[in-house]
Amino acid sequence: MIKFKLKSSPKATFLLAIILKAFSVNAQSIGSDLGSLHGNYELDAQYYRPDSLIGAPKVPEKVLSNAFCNLIYQKGKLSAGMRYEAYNNVMQGFDPRYKGQGIVNRYVRYQDKLLDVTVGNIYEQFGSGLLFRTYYQPGLLYDNSLDGFRVISSPYKGLTFKGLIGRQRSFFSLGPGIVRAFDGEANLNDLLDSLINPIKTKIVVGGSFVSKYQSNLDPTVLKPLNVGAYGGRVNITHEGFNFYGEYGYKENDPGADNFATANGKNYYSYKPGEAIFLSSSYAVNGFAVLLQAKRIDNFAFRSDRDATLQNLLINYLPVTTKQHTYLMPAYTPYATQPRGEVGGMVEFQYKIKKGSALGGKYGTNITVNLSMVNGLNKIGVNDSTTTSYLYTAPYNQIGTPYYHDFFIEIEKKFNKKWKGTFMYANQFYNKNIIQFGTPNAGFRNMTSNIGVVDITYKYKSNSAVRFEVQAALKDNTDTLNLGSWTTAMVEWTPNTHWFVALLDQYNYGNPLNKLDLVKVNNNIGLSNVFGESLYHYFLLSVGYTTGPHRISISYGKQRAGIFCVGGVCRNVPASNGLSISITSTF
């Protein structure tokens, strides 16, 4: 039994009473007349120890925690929900403006055949999210929900219309801008059922319009009060073939995202924004290929033109790079650059047939992936009489390399007890642009050769030992790029409930010594620099899972880095201490 002791408001006390009551009943059997109540909760907490050797800072509170609980009630056509969040105080690596606790998300929704109406906090996405996407990602503490009103209607088979209006969440308050959005989508096969139903090709088309209103409090710079963005999309599928394409256009929107200083003057860009996203795939008989391409030009879209980092983003810019799960290739992930980028990805997957010389008894899976991202080749337009920045960016030209990632991954099951995954990756990482948004941050580009070996030995039906070794070899000894790394891990799963894992990360090839650490940390804000003193980052984790409940405890040292989900990233500082994570659904 988990007990919480909080000094809180009557609202919080009432909410906790509801939570405890929910735990004491079956969420799906409250009563056929009363409806159903279900949800989930998560608690992450860490005890911090200062560690100057790895740059782990002193935490005055010593213990920091993030927690939330979702409650969802449903009866017939009516549903309602709320989420309580508590940050006491927020854990290291998250925006410190998440401070406090309270009910930050609540809604009521009614659905019937013609109308679907929601009042309160709304999560919605148009197409790929290029023009509009609100969502919640607790791992990043990212929540840009729209607090307002949404109506969805399907007046005819194959037609869906959506309309929204409201203001976005900004930590424990709302942003200053008002967002208005409309989307329409037509499934041509359903709409023209009698004419094209025999055709195997499926076609869905859609269009969106999104605008924001924000007053201008700066009398020295003319800024539009209303900014609109609009675009269209098409999705075509035919047997194993799928194509998706979307285009977006945004009116001029000067703000913090396109602010620049040049020749002693401050400039805002009044250039309209454009975005194109294309994705195509084909799969047949053990073979699959994925092709993606994207071009972004001045396409940051926020309900507050002065917001920074991930705050108050209206849209989402899809990534065309691989989101790795292994530590070494994931240590330098790519973060989308809304000021301008062009890139693409191609991936081939092939399964060698069972019984062949290379496939063996169980077959062999091979994945080859290449992704590349460059900046735009921006050509400035002379405009010496104003403080606006204009440029052209030809479609047939590309600019400075930002990132590339090539890897080949082989998955092989040798017999009933042994299986393995083997990966080689080569990555190029423009740290100045990706992490700091400027070519003048003072870092050298990084190129890494990465190897991964992951072996699992399953000695019983529900028991296994997994061994993992990784290495990231840098091609330079640049002080600020921290040299090379190796990682080793052993994970033991004695049964379906327990797991124990020991991880070691080791930094070498970095010319810094211990006496340089404080100076470098203070000068450039890094939280994880270490020299050739043969230092190891040991981390021990133990976890227990039963049904929908999971508890894990870790103790040790964590290196600094960047954590990304879908191209949205946050910096994770170095830390040393004890952490606990509890998750459950009910």
Q: Do residues 552 and 584 make contact, with C-beta atoms less than 8 angstroms apart?
A: no
Per-residue exposure over 286-311, b if at least 16 CB sit within 10 Å of its own CB, e if not: eebebebbbbbbbbbbbbbbebeebb
| Integer Cα distance of 26 and 248 in angstroms | 46
How far CA 471 is from CA of 20, 175, 453, in Å, comes to 47, 44, 9
Q: Given a cut of 90, is residue 521 above it in pLDDT? A: no
Q: Which DSSP letter does residue 179 get?
A: E
Q: How far apart are the first and last CA of the chain?
A: 15
**DSSP code per residue over 538-556:** EEEEEEEEETTEEEEEEEE
Mean pLDDT in residue range 343-355: 94
Q: What does pTM read for this prediction?
A: 0.87
Q: For residue 86, what pLDDT is reported?
A: 97
| Integer Cα distance of 338 and 317 in angstroms | 8
Residue 387's pLDDT band (cuts 50, 70, 90): low
| Integer Cα distance of 30 and 28 in angstroms | 6
- Contact partners, residue 357, CB within 8 Å, separation at least 6: none
- Tokens 């409650």 correspond to 71
**DSSP code per residue over 471-488:** EEEES---GGGT-EEEEE
Q: Do residues 375 and 399 make contact, with C-beta atoms less than 8 angstroms apart?
A: yes
Q: Do residues 235 and 209 make contact, with C-beta atoms less than 8 angstroms apart?
A: no
Mean pLDDT in residue range 119-148: 96
Q: Given a cut of 90, is residue 514 above it in pLDDT? A: no
CA-nearest of 426, 371, 442 to 402 is: 371
Q: For residue 74, what pLDDT is reported?
A: 96
Query: What are 282-321's pLDDT values in tens digits?
Result: 999 999 999 999 999 999 999 999 998 889 999 999 999 9
Three-class DSSP category at 11: helix
Residue 41's pLDDT band (cuts 50, 70, 90): very high
More confidently predicted of 82 and 484: 82
Structure tokens at 229: 């963005």
Phi first, then psi, for residue 283 (nearest 5°) are: -140, 135
Query: What are 444-500's pLDDT values in tens digits?
Result: 888 999 999 999 999 999 999 999 999 998 765 444 456 788 999 999 999 999 999
Query: What are 214-255's pLDDT values in tens digits?
Result: 998 877 788 899 999 999 999 999 999 999 999 999 999 999
